[in-house]
Structure 1
Amino acid sequence: MPKRLAVIGAAVLFAVAGCSDSGDESATLVTPAPSTAEDLAEQPAASAGGACILWDYDFIEQAIGIRFAVSAADQVEDTSTCVVQTLSGAWPDLSLSVVETTTANAEVFLDTRMPAKATKLTGLGRAGYRLNAKAAADHGPTVEIGWLSEAKQLQTVRFTFAKGASAADVKDMNAKLLDLAKALSTTNG
């Protein structure tokens, strides 16, 4: 299985790099045969690095009831991020962002980090908020929960629905995402 993915990757790389005779002005793009979900070996979410090391697909599925299979991460200065998606499309997706440390207290967090239309949450870290946003042209509504953890980290989880999510779906995800945030929230100890 890994050899097949390596061959596909190499073929795409050579095609994109424009490997052709120097006299040939028209490079041919080689498109590998489509793969099915069964052809792909699921790599652990944590293998992407970044904030992905804080969760795995089973943990997420138990918390919110959706199975993800693809993860990507990034790190910029002291902020780590992770996004997980299904194999079936760009949405739904779930993202996590963690700022390693902050000097902000709860008051500063709520004054400067809480979006204008967000509602204040209690029982999550030192301070927290929830923001529900309406559907956009290419995806459904979003639910975002941000908080200042007891360990003075800024953490944010955001779930983006595929098109067609109902108000009941959003209400249900509010509770599930809060439970996920509580499970992820860091403490002093």
Structure 2
Amino acid sequence: MTTRLAVLGAAVLLALSGCTSPPAEPAPVVPSAPADDLAELPAASAGGACILWDYDFIEQKIGIRFAVAAADQVEDTSSCVVQTMNAAWPDLSLSVVETTTANAEVFLDERMPEKASKLTGLGGAGYRLNTNAAGEHGPTVEIGWLSEAKQLQTLRFTFPKGATAADVKDMNAKLLDLAKALSTT
């Protein structure tokens, strides 16, 4: 597994463990197996926002098969990140704020990033933000929206290095289809 995935997993475990005292007996050490020998656990088994999707559903919508999921919950915000087994990117994340009092105008004025473009046909209000490659990864596509159920939802797809403008354009449409399928009413 990649270092990034290991760090993500450690962060999720630390967040979930809280400040409890250590167990009376140490947990047994389980030898790691090569990635090819691991059974694919359902994304929903990670908890958090991962309960809203599965690998088959994601693959049907965006054409990429993910196999690893990690989740977290902070106050009223649930999140999920999925990745492939063999690389840090691509990855896909979903965050859901359980409830908000924001209306469409407030969402677009205060929650939409400055360089984002307004989307129509997705919940009460929505935006799309494409960013350039940075650091170790390629460009990103982010779609955020205010659902009809008064939830703030955000999808973010991060490409590996080398993604083209055509790849980004194609993912814009696919990610919007995924967002519409996830949007709560």
- Is TM more than 0.5 here? yes
Provide, for residues 102-159 of structure 1, a one-character-per-residue CA deviation record: whole Å limited to 9, x for no partner: 0000000000000000000000000000000000120000000000000000000000
SS of structure 1 residue aligned to 2:130: strand
Question: 1:10 & 1:139 partners in 2: Cα distance?
Answer: 36
State TM-score, norm by structure 1: 0.82
Segments of 5+ residues of structure 2 without an aligned counterpart are 1-26
Amino acid at match of 1:160: T
Provide, for residues 146-178 of structure 1, a one-character-per-residue CA deviation record: whole Å limited to 9, x for no partner: 000000000000000011000000000000000
1:119 to 111, 117, 120: 117
Question: 1:184 & 1:135 partners in 2: Cα distance?
Answer: 26
2:41 to 35, 40, 43: 43
Question: 2:96 & 2:56 partners in 1: Cα distance?
Answer: 20
Question: 2:141 & 2:75 partners in 1: Cα distance?
Answer: 26
State TM-score, norm by structure 2: 0.83
Question: 2:29 & 2:100 partners in 1: Cα distance?
Answer: 45
1:134 alignment partner in structure 2:
132
2:106 alignment partner in structure 1:
108
Amino acid at match of 1:36: A
Deviation of 1:34 after TM superposition, in Å, equals 5.5
Question: 2:142 & 2:158 partners in 1: Cα distance?
Answer: 9
1:172 alignment partner in structure 2:
170
Q: Alignment length, in residue pairs?
A: 159
Question: 2:179 & 2:33 partners in 1: Cα distance?
Answer: 36
**Displaced runs of 4 or more, over 4 A:** none
Question: 1:170 & 1:45 partners in 2: Cα distance?
Answer: 25
Structure 1 vs Structure 2: percent identity of aligned residues? 84
SS of structure 2 residue aligned to 1:143: strand
Q: How does 1:24-63 map to 2 (within 5 A)?
A: 35-37=34-36, 39-63=37-61
Root-mean-square deviation (CA, aligned residues, Å) is: 1.3
Higher relative contact order structure (alpha carbons within 8 Å, sequence separation ≥ 6):
2
Deviation of 1:36 after TM superposition, in Å, equals 3.3
1:155 to 153, 156, 161: 153
* Conserved? CA contact 2:99–2:151, under 8 Å: yes
Amino acid at match of 1:69: A
Amino acid at match of 1:109: F
Question: 2:104 & 2:35 partners in 1: Cα distance?
Answer: 47
1:146 to 144, 162, 176: 144
Question: 1:36 & 1:119 partners in 2: Cα distance?
Answer: 39
